[in-house]
């Protein structure tokens, strides 16, 4: 049997077994879950020559699917999550103009940061994204997304979708509420939807990045407010967002492998920014 034929058979077998792998794999220790994720996604890879960052990015996404299943079970509170900057949100709300929290699209967002924020008493209304609904990978299914929505709703004040979503979001901001933005329009730069919403309503814009550190803990870092009025230029806002994200994209590139900002930031990476991300 040729190597190509053998690979196709392995691919089919693992694809058929994915529900069982996920049903059992979520119960493993987290480091073991990650090793399992690497093995599964490597076997399922369509391109055997894909670079290490892309391969690890796929493993992180499968790992997140296992964590999602764990969060639905009795061990939802067992994740080791460190939250930095949550007081910044409460400080901004003192201004009375609401806050837009941009949930940066990493492998472990948006479910984990929503849980972490709720644990700190921060519950907002979510404008959900579409990035996880395209089912490009065999473990991204309608059933997975239904489970994700069910889990996320535990940590939210509400969620908006459809043509009236932006109008409802504006009403929440005028009432000094919190909008959690994970929506990204395909024809706009990363973060543009969150920027436009915050500026249109003179609300604070705070980026929220979530990464898994090498020791297995998750870091949810809420950055300082970037945009509060229309006087701030889009270019300046994007630059500040890039500065905030750069240390993370340099240190954890695989977790941004689906992010349109990764390539641009990596071009100006330097050895000094590696020390900037909290560890």
Average pLDDT for 257-275: 48
Task: Give the separation between CA 17 and CA 154, rounded to whole angstroms.
Answer: 29
Average pLDDT for 62-77: 81
Q: How many helices and strands (H and E) does the chain possess?
A: 10, 7
pTM: 0.85
Burial grade of 142 (CB within 10 A; 0-12, 13-18, 19 or more): exposed
Average pLDDT for 164-192: 89
Residue 261, classed as helix, strand or coil, is coil
- 134: Cβ contacts below 8 Å, ≥ 6 apart: 140
Burial grade of 264 (CB within 10 A; 0-12, 13-18, 19 or more): middle
Q: What's the gap between Cα 89 and its chain centre?
A: 18
Q: Which comes out higher in pLDDT, residue 189 or 148?
A: 148
Q: Which comes out higher in pLDDT, residue 157 or 57?
A: 157
The overall average pLDDT reported for the chain is 82
Q: Which comes out higher in pLDDT, residue 237 or 156?
A: 156
């Amino acid at each position: 049997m040729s190597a190509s034929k053998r690979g196709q058979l392995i691919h089919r077998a693992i694809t058929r077994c994915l529900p069982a792998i996920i049903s059992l794999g979520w119960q493993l220790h987290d480091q073991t879950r990650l090793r399992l994720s690497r093995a599964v996604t490597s076997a399922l890879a369509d391109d055997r020559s894909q670079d290490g960052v892309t391969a690890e990015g796929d493993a992180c996404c499968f790992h997140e699917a296992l964590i999602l299943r764990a969060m639905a079970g009795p061990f939802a509170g067992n994740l080791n999550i460190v939250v930095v900057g949550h007081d910044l949100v409460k400080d901004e709300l003192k201004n009375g103009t609401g806050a837009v929290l941009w949930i940066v699209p990493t492998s472990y967002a948006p479910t984990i940061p929503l849980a972490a924020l709720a644990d700190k008493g921060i519950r907002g209304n979510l404008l959900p994204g579409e990035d996880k609904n395209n089912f490009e990978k065999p473990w991204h299914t309608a059933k997975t997304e239904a489970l994700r929505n069910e889990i996320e709703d535990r940590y939210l004040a509400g969620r908006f979708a459809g043509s009236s979503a932006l109008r409802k979001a504006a009403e929440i901001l005028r009432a000094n509420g919190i909008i959690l933005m994970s929506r990204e329009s395909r024809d706009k730069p990363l973060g543009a939807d969150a920027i436009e919403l915050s500026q249109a309503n003179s609300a604070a814009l705070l980026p929220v990045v979530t990464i898994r550190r090498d020791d297995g803990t998750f870091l949810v870092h809420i950055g300082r407010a970037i945009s509060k009025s229309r006087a701030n230029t889009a270019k300046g806002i994007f630059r500040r967002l890039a500065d905030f994200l750069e240390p993370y994209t340099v240190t954890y590139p695989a977790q941004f492998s689906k992010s349109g900002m990764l390539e641009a930031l990596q071009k100006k990476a330097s050895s000094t920014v590696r020390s900037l991300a909290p560890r």
